[in-house]
A and B are shown apart, each in its own frame.
Chain A
């Protein structure tokens, strides 16, 4: 077996067996799934404490017009019972008391709720909505129109559902979801940023470890330093790809499980909470998803739209840009690791390397809003920022020539940085206890070109 593949094998197997790798691989998809599900779940967490609210209706116009719910009970008190209520409503078992002083059509602010504890927004909404609905009805009733109920029902059913249809070049139509495209762009850009950063830093630490352990001289007596460097970079790249693939597979598995669980739940009981979970998941308007069927439809819709994003193409591009960006940065990180003896020294050298990467995530944020703008264009051409910025643009389908140019530039640049880094690496790994400066690095670069 060739030596470089031995090195790749070692780098790969020692890292994949690490606890931190296994933990991250499992936690990652759970986090993703949680990020999708939790907001909806929290929203669905309702106040389940039963509350009694006393109502003092001085007008007598609204008796029993506010419906009690499972957790909210309204008691309409007779006027003679209201004596002293303000002082001892708590002793009488009420959470709060509501006073209606006047005709609400004339004085909309003539209703007040008193309580020592803060009234939650749900309670407030319930009361005002109930009263408003009653008042609306009263007012409409005053016009004396026949068949009013039916008319209202019809009006309520009028609805617009604007669909964005993307035209393919062959004229076929495909339904797309703007929100989903945005989310895909954010996920792609963040993933590239994260993977390049995390695994690039691993390359640096790995190189530094070999140098600090003093094993490097033993190894370079068997292989060329460049082989050692490339073996490490490639081995770690494979670790990253493994993690990425596992994340995809596991996320799909978890979403699949959630799908079946929710679908079953919905058909059996049709719980509103679960529906809100889904609303959070697709980040679309919950709308009138109060029906079980609507929920199931919604879910299938999302899946369809996810499929319509050309996942395979995006995935291949993701892998290309990840590898390109990773190779570019990893080789620079390897050179830094070779030059530095300890992590404490590394900060001043690591920052300049990380700068363009951090910048690219900011540019990517802007690119979501204007994916074809000048800023997005130029930064998706510059190889140091293109992996993140171009990935942010890809769901919006930039012109092919731009992608081709950006990819060519990226390849050319990582070939250059790898060569450049190899020369610094070669000298750096065998230098001990030397204070590293940029001038020193330049010297190493020049003379190792013998």
Chain B
């Protein structure tokens, strides 16, 4: 049984279809990427999971059960459009938002103290939000999102507004939250972080699911059977030695050695490639090149746009 499931979810706005029978299955204790171009319907799906708006048809199951009103206290949501009351003090505001998620005042203070110490932001407690920089505000927002130990965390573009150091800190925290048992749904355009963090993804384009599954499987299935061979020696020899099953795409010369990208055809294996060249050159490295999520994203979305028309 999946932790979070979207089944045949349809959402129609006045003059466009935001979600067209979308399905998604998020395993427990995973980091799940929800991807798609702008306007694909990601935010709408996230808002439906948060019960901010309801689907026209279809349903969302959490732990196998239809969403209930009190599930909001088990979800932590960091929206893409986020902000705080500017005139309110940081501590007071954090307590308020935590209590809205069902924590008692004392619990909220205790947990906030822990997080404020961890992020070394205790001095901000009595400051007004408007006195803080954007990055500082983002940190507080993150703390408030995770404070009530939600089982499901939803991050919409969590890294926007963070400098690289803080973005990295955030990444570590997200991984730690997963280790502590949370399930994380994660929407972003930053494909690098998707590769780094996500176990599974769903790709939505124009209101429809066009791709989903474990990220490794997806990358495997989109691979071009390309290998990267690093060697020293005569690069022409390589071209000569390889049979018709191998096609040399490109050879680059760098710092005294070569890097060749070789495409394997007709189910040829890496072993065969190695066998063909091992006597002629000195090999430094050889590995399979998997497509980046960025490439897959562009490829799949463009393909879907063409066939969609």
Contact = CB atoms under 8 A, between A and B. Distances in A.
Interface of A: 1, 3, 6, 10, 14, 209-210, 213-215, 217-223, 225, 430, 432, 443-444, 446-447, 450
B32 to A, nearest CB: 18
Contacts of A447: 13-14
Contacts of B1: none
Nearest to B86: A213
A1 B108 CA distance: 14
B79 A450 contact: no
Per DSSP, are chain A's interface residues mostly helix, strand or loop, or mixed?
Answer: helix
A3 B70 CA distance: 12
Contact of A218 (B53, B77, B86, B87): B77
Contacts of B79: 214, 217-218, 221
A241 to B, nearest CB: 23
Contact of B99 (A1, A213, A221, A450): A1
Nearest to A228: B100
A14 to B, nearest CB: 7
A221 B85 contact: no
Contact of A217 (B52, B87, B144): B52
B77 A213 contact: no
A85 B202 CA distance: 109
Given A6-B99, A443-B14, A447-B13, A14 B52 contact: no
B47 A430 contact: yes
Given A213-B83, A213-B86, A6 B96 contact: yes
B200 interface: no
A220 B100 CA distance: 10
B213 interface: no
Interface string B71-98: 0110101010111111110000000110
Contacts of B87: 14
Interface residues of B, number: 29
Contact of A214 (B72, B77, B83, B101): B83
Contacts of B144: 218
B50 interface: yes
A284 B141 CA distance: 63
Contacts of B135: none
A430 B47 CA distance: 10
Interface of B: 13-14, 47, 50-54, 56, 72-73, 75, 77, 79, 81-88, 96-97, 99-101, 141, 144
A1 B54 CA distance: 26
A6 B100 contact: yes
Contacts of A214: 79, 81-83
A353 B14 CA distance: 26
Given A14-B88, A213-B86, A221 B81 contact: no
A215 B85 contact: yes
Contacts of A432: 81
26 contacts: A1-B99, A6-B100, A14-B85, A14-B88, A210-B85, A213-B84, A214-B79, A215-B82, A215-B84, A215-B85, A217-B79, A217-B82, A218-B79, A218-B141, A218-B144, A219-B100, A221-B50, A221-B52, A221-B72, A222-B72, A222-B97, A222-B100, A443-B14, A447-B14, A450-B54, A450-B56
B97 A218 contact: yes
A426 to B, nearest CB: 8
B85 A213 contact: yes
Q: Which 7 residue pairs spanning A and B have beta carbons closest together? A: A214-B83, A222-B100, A213-B83, A217-B79, A221-B77, A221-B50, A214-B81
Nearest to A432: B81
A447 B54 CA distance: 12
A221 to B, nearest CB: 4
A224 B52 CA distance: 7
B254 to A, nearest CB: 47
A252 B144 CA distance: 47
Contacts of A3: 100
A217 B145 CA distance: 12
A413 B164 CA distance: 55
A1 B105 CA distance: 10
A209 B85 CA distance: 8
Given A213-B83, A213-B86, A447-B13, A220 B97 contact: no
A223 B100 contact: yes
A223 to B, nearest CB: 6
A338 to B, nearest CB: 14
B34 to A, nearest CB: 16
A209 B88 CA distance: 12
Contacts of A213: 83-86
Contacts of A221: 50-52, 72, 75, 77, 79
A10 B96 CA distance: 8
A422 to B, nearest CB: 14
Contacts of B51: 221
A431 to B, nearest CB: 10
Nearest to B78: A218
A349 B77 CA distance: 33
B109 to A, nearest CB: 15
Kindly name the residue among A14, A218, A443 whose own CB sees the greatest number of chain B CB atoms within 10 A.
Answer: A218
Contacts of B81: 214, 217, 432
A271 B97 CA distance: 62
A159 to B, nearest CB: 62
Given A221-B50, A222-B72, 5 more contacts: A14-B88, A213-B83, A217-B82, A221-B72, A221-B79
For A14, A209, A220, A443, which residue has the most chain B Cβ atoms within 10 angstroms?
Answer: A220
Nearest to A14: B88
A430 B53 CA distance: 10
A430 B51 CA distance: 13
A73 B228 CA distance: 118
Contacts of B83: 213-215, 218
A219 B51 CA distance: 12
A14 B88 CA distance: 8
Contacts of A215: 82-85
